[in-house]
Structures are given as structure tokens and as C-alpha cells.
A and B are shown apart, each in its own frame.
Chain A
Amino acid sequence: GENVGLHLPTLSVQEGDNSIINCAYSNSASDYFIWYKQESGKGPQFIIDIRSNMDKRQGQRVTVLLNKTVKHLSLQIAATQPGDSAVYFCAEITPPTDKLIFGTGTRLQVFP
């Protein structure tokens, strides 16, 4: 995949455990954040998003937390499954440009 060779931080978790993937974003003016999942050989897949007027948003098995004070974003995956193994990217948008700026990514490895 495209991320081979890139030294990505790796999170290894056991199947069934909860995973927490962290991201520090760069611009305090960013007002919209997205988490993407990218499996080997595929394009990124939207997981969940959150706007800066919220500090928590829940989806199916996933929760995103936003801490604007320290410019920190986290993705929590409940009951992690082997199919969750992928590289996870956070992305931010800073008005008025509305350009999507991606973080470097975290590789999640799920073992039985």
C-alpha cells in the first residue's frame, strides 16, 4: 500500500479491546475535523466528523473527542475487530480556505 515505507506510529490491540487513536492538529482556527480509515490498496474511507462547536460525537462503534484547548483529537473504536486494521488519518479544515489538511496517520493492528 501507499503507506509502506512511511514510519507511522503503530497501535497494536487485541481483538475485542477498545482502541484510542490520537491526533494533534496544527491550527487553532480549524473548525471541522474528520477521521478517515485507509486499508491497503484502497482510498481513504470517511469514518466520522466533528465540528469545533462540539467536543464529542458518536457513531457506530466509534467516538470522536475534540479538545480545542490543547488542539487534540481522538478516535475511539469500541470492541476492535480484525477488519478495523488499517491506517487512520485525522484531517482538519481551516476557514476560509476549506482545504483539507491531513495528519501523518496511525497504523492500527488488531491481533487475535
Chain B
Amino acid sequence: KAGVTQTPRYLIKTRGQQVTLSCSPISGHRSVSWYQQTPGQGLQFLFEYFSETQRNKGNFPGRFSGRQFSNSRSEMNVSTLELGDSALYLCASSLAGLAGPSNEQFFGPGTRLTVL
């Protein structure tokens, strides 16, 4: 079974631009969560999608948004990029999400975003 895939793996953008990151979960998984990882803040939860609905949201500004499609693939969008948005963005999939009976999350390799 293929693991979680994220595209692109690396991205360089400039301040003010917007970016879209993509995540394909493991087949059969309906929950996708997104995280931001930086040296200064560590791993921080962004949001979780389940069956095309945002179920949980972290403490990030509205510039960070996401969506999930009917095939469970998810995209994350960051608008008006700032230097501080430079980070490794990770997505994780699970069967039913953190609230479900089988909570194990499988992480993708991440997308490294650099904002210049």
C-alpha cells in the first residue's frame, strides 16, 4: 500500500505570493491533517479534514486554508506569504482521524517551503 505523498517536495516563493500544497492520503483513509514544523516553534497543528469537511483548526491566521476532495486528497493554501511561513509542511492521514477508534496517523515526507 502506498504511503502518504506530498507535492511538491520543495518550493521557493517570495513574500506576498500565494502557494498551494497537495497531499494524497493512504488509500481508504478519510482524515487528513496538516502541520507546520519550524525550528523555532516545533510541530504545530494547522487543521484536519474529514470527508471533505474541516473538523478541527489550529491557531493560525486566515491566510492558511485548506480543502479536501471527494477522493480524500487534500490541498493547503497559504496566501500573502510572509518570511515566517518558511517551514516544513507535513500532512498526515488516518482512517477516521484523531477522534476515531483507530487513531494512528501516517505522515508524508513534507513540503519544504522557503519564502524569500
**B104's contact among A46, A91, A97, A104, by CB below 8 Å, is which?**
A46
A45→B110 CA distance, assembly (Å): 12
Contact B37–A99 (Cβ < 8 Å)? no
Interface size class of A (residues with CB under 8 A): 20 to 34
Knowing A45-B107, A100-B33 are in contact, say whether A3-B39 is a contact too (CB < 8 A).
Answer: yes
* Residues of chain A within 8 A of B58, CB atoms compared: 99
- Pick the residue among A6, A41, A45, A98 that contacts B56 (CB under 8 A): A98
Are B109 and A105 in touch, CB under 8 angstroms? no
- Cβ-defined contact, A43 with B107, below 8 A: yes
Residues 39-71 of B, flagged 1 when their CB comes within 8 A of A and 0 if not, give 110111100100000011010000000000000
Chain B interface helix/strand/loop/mixed: strand
- Which residues in B have their C-beta under 8 angstroms from that of A46? 104-106
Q: Provide the A80-105 mask, 1 if CB < 8 A to any CB of B, else 0.
A: 00000000010101000111111111
Tell whether A32 is near chain B: CB-to-CB under 8 Å: yes
Find the A residue at minimum CB distance from B108.
A43
Q: Which of A32, A42, A44, A45 contacts B98 (CB 8 A)?
A: A32
A108 to chain B: which residues have CB within 8 Å?
none
Task: Specify the chain A residue showing the minimal Cβ separation from B91.
Answer: A43
- What residues of chain A have their CB less than 8 Å away from a CB belonging to chain B? 2-6, 32, 34, 36, 41-46, 49, 89, 91, 93, 97-105
14 further A-B pairs in the complex, CB-CB below 8 A; given A43-B110, A99-B56, A102-B42: A2-B39, A2-B88, A43-B90, A43-B109, A44-B90, A44-B92, A44-B107, A46-B104, A46-B106, A97-B56, A98-B98, A98-B99, A102-B45, A104-B42
